Each structure stands twice: as structure tokens, then as C-alpha cells.
Structure 1
Amino acid sequence: MLNGGVLAGIARHAFPKAAMEVLDEVAVTVEGGLHGDFRGAVKPGGRGRRQVTLMERGDWQSALAELGAVAPWQERRVNLLVDGLDLPQVPGALLRIGADVVLRVTVECDPCSRMETVLPGLMAALTPDWRGGVCSRVVAGGILRLGDPITVELN
């Protein structure tokens, strides 16, 4: 175990460009990712590299500070906000959240041009050093709740 943090936020969106719904808890499955989130379902023949997305609270706050702005974290459009944890920038690293959920980091979660509609300059502010977060695939499902502990294991 490298370090630990806590789950500080949970959000999902039912379809592309839909508003983000902030939750206190959510079910997660290997087949469907976060219940009710359109990105979670693994398409036939797909790899599910973007089933669940995560970002560090500190990275979000740093990006906003650079812009002198304030915006709620869910505007980043990631599923999970983590606090007190450096997300691994290593594909294959495992994130254990709560009692049962295990996610495998797949790729960097590159900020898209939609960030510019949130705040001008936000896409660039989220680009360095994986600040936009990580994408992951569900290895083991369960229930996620705000405040769940998160630990990192590298393979």
C-alpha cells in the first residue's frame, strides 16, 4: 500500500452532455460501472477503459486557483473526487475503495474542450501532470459511499 485517502464526491450522468447528478452512494458493477452512468457499460468487444473516472480534489483546486475562479468539482464531469490521495499515474495500478470496490487505472483522463465552457482556460489548467484525473476499469464491484477509504496498490 502506497498511501490512502477518502472518497469525497460521487457523480454520474445518464447520457452524453447531461447534467452531473451528485450522490452520497452508488452501486458499482464490473459490467456497468457506476449505476446510472452512461460511460460505465462495457460495449461488446470493448475494453471499458473509461468505466469510472477519478480526480484529486487538490488538482481541481489548483487548476481553479490558477484561473482565480470557483466552480463545483462535478463540472469536471468525472465520477469520483478523491481527497488526501495522489492518484497513480501508472496504468495497471489498483485503487481499492471502501469494503469491496476495486478499480484498475487504464489511462489519463484528458480534459476536453467542454472544460472551456465551464471556465475559459480550464482545459489548459487541467492538462499538466495528469491533473484532469485518471480513467479506470472496474475489477470488483460493490457499493461506494462518501467517506469510504481509498488505497493504492501498484502491480
Structure 2
Amino acid sequence: MMTAGTLVGIARHAFPKAPMELIEAVDVTVEGGLHGDFRGAVKPGGRGKRQVTLMERGDWDAAMADLGHTIPWQERRVNLLVDGFDIPQVPGTRLRIGAVELEITVECDPCSRMETIATGLKAALTPDWRGGACTRVKVPGRIAIGDPVSVVSFS
């Protein structure tokens, strides 16, 4: 069994292309994902596959090392940054962050917008799920910086 990691970053954006807002804590709901983040709302008829996105600090640091840059992690436009934790690359795996449970749905593919941040960033985030994972909220609650991150169950 994997050891627990730590939630070290929370970011959200109110609308598409909005700047990322760094916050210390946030409520997470089954219907809306992170409170105040436009992407978390489940659309009518949708499955909510991309409600909450997360990535590993080590993967971001490795991408930065590859490129020789020091860009803040939130420019990746994911919601959560975890440290000391290897995100399972297995859809259906359930994670617990604080009181919240998330189910991994798909790899969070780096988009072309990454190239506008730094040339080569999309490619640097592509191998081995470096860009992170997309999740669906299964158990709502509140999360905060410093909360433990662990695997609840594998699919």
C-alpha cells in the first residue's frame, strides 16, 4: 500500500482562461467540484470526468528541470498539487484528500496552452502522466493545504 502524501496547493479559476486563484482551503461538492471553479460543475447529461484535476509536485519539478524554467505550478491550470504521493495511473482508483474522496477518471493531457507558457512544456508534461489526473468527486467535504492524500481503493 502506498504511503500518504500531502496536499500542498489548491487553485481554481472562475471561468475559462481566467487567472488561477491560489487558496488555502475549499469546499468540494459532488455537483460542483471545487467551490468557485467553473470546470467542476457536472453538465446536464455529463459524467463529470474532469471535475477536479491534480498533479504531483515532483512531476512539475521534473518538467521544469527539463526545460530550465521555474514557472509557478498553478500555470499548469490544475486544481490540486500533491507532494510525496504517486498518483495511480489507473482509472477507477479512489483517492482521499482530507475528508473528500475522488475517483481517477482519465489522464490530464497537457493542452496546447502549455506551449504559450513555455516552449516544450506540453512535451515535458506528456510522458508517464506528468500532466496529472482528472477525477470525479465521490464524497464531498472540505479540503485544505496540509491535508493527507492517500489511496482508498483500486478499481
One fold, TM greater than 0.5? yes
Structure 1 partner of 2:28: 28
Regions of 4+ moved over 4 Å: none
Residue 143 of structure 1 corresponds to: 142
Match of 1:115 in 2: 114
TM-score by length of 2: 0.98
| Unaligned stretches of 5+ residues in structure 2 | none
**Partner SS state of residue 44, structure 1:** coil
Which secondary structure does the structure 1 equivalent of 2:102 belong to? strand
Structure 1, unpaired ranges of 5+: none
* Distance across 1 between alignment mates of 2:146 and 2:117: 27
Could you say which residue in structure 2 is the equivalent of 1:79? 79
Task: Give distance in 2, aligned partners of 1:129 and 1:118.
Answer: 21
Q: CA deviation at 1:4?
A: 1.1
Report SS of the residue matched to 2:95.
Answer: strand
Q: Deviations over 1:26-84 (max 9, x none)?
A: 00000000000000000111000000000000000000000011100000000000000
Root-mean-square deviation (CA, aligned residues, Å) is 0.7
Q: For the residues of structure 2 that align with 1:92 and 1:3, how far apart are their CA atoms? A: 19
- What is the aligned-residue identity percentage? 71
The offset of 1:114, in angstroms, is 0.4
| 2:62 match | 62
What is the CA-CA distance between 1:2 and the residue it aligns to?
2.5
Give, as a single letter, the amino acid of the residue that structure 2 aligns with 1:40: G
Work out whether 1:11 is the aligned partner of 2:15.
Answer: no
Match of 2:100 in 1: 101
- May I ask how many residue pairs the two structures share in their alignment? 154
